[in-house]
Amino acid sequence: MSKQNVLITGANRGVGRGLVAAFLQKSNTTVIAAVRDPKNPSSASLSALPRGPGSRVIVITLDTADEGAAGCAIQALQTKCSIDFLDIVIANAGINQDGKPVLDTSVASIHRHFAVNTLGSVTLFQATAPLLRSSLSGRPVFVAISSNVGSIAGMDIMAGMSNTSPYGASKAALNWFMRRIHFDEDWLITMVLNPGFVKTDMVAETTKGLPFSPEDMGAITIEESAAGLVKRIDEATRDGAGGTFQNVDSEKIPW
């Protein structure tokens, strides 16, 4: 396998960490793990993850809530780490807080969710596009990790889940930008992936107090989710997966 460079945001926990671990199992792969605080124990421990022959992990600072952070991180990656191309970028960092009906959702909370979940991915794309254009694989991929909660067409299925604002709205906006990029940039494979209902700290927090557990709802492990996401990315083509919104099992999700 030829060498590849993969950048993942929100890489120190949950699905992000699972993706780092999965890509590190490949050979000749450099995984750039973008985190808010590299000194955090969960970030520092990324360097101890098992890896395939010729693979390595680079931990960098990137706070997706800061609109200038992605540009600074990529500049540092080029100058300090001599990274001059990227093959895969995964915009995974996200927040899900203060879930309430729209009537009770503060404007401050909406701004906070859009800053991280929507604009964080857009600025990441803008900052990484030049390095993706230099991909050695010939098939550069930009992936946004979204959620089926961001499906407007699918909202009737979750009509009783009034705690999905403002998280769902920020993911719906993210989905729009990623699909628009697909039409704007014919050199790039752009796709939106739902990692599934995964047993993460975020899910544990959002289901706290409910009369059922994540397992009762068919939650999958982080490892299962990461393996499925990597498979979707590895198999993606522009004509097949480009501009689509898919579940971890490849099922299409309505916008």
* pLDDT(132) > 80: yes
Q: Which two tokens stand for residue 80?
A: 């300090």
pLDDT in tens, 181-234: 999 999 999 999 999 989 877 666 666 666 666 666 678 999 999 999 999 999
Paired with 56 in beta bridges are: 30
pTM above 0.85, yes or no: yes
Active-site pick, 3, 26, 167, 208:
167
pLDDT in tens, 43-67: 999 999 999 999 999 999 999 999 9
Taking residue 53's Cβ as centre, other Cβ atoms within 10 Å add up to 9
Taking residue 121's Cβ as centre, other Cβ atoms within 10 Å add up to 32
Is 231 among the residues known to form the active site? no
In the predicted model, what is the mean pLDDT of the chain? 93
Q: Which fold has domain 4-246?
A: Rossmann fold (3.40.50)
Looking at residue 199, what is its pLDDT? 81
Q: Which two tokens stand for residue 234?
A: 């590895």
Is 39 among the residues known to form the active site? no
* pLDDT(29) > 90: yes
Active-site pick, 80, 171, 199, 231:
171
Calpha distance 135→137 (Å, rounded): 5
Provide the residue ranges of all domains of the chain, joining segments of one domain with +.
4-246
pLDDT in tens, 71-97: 999 999 999 999 999 999 999 999 999
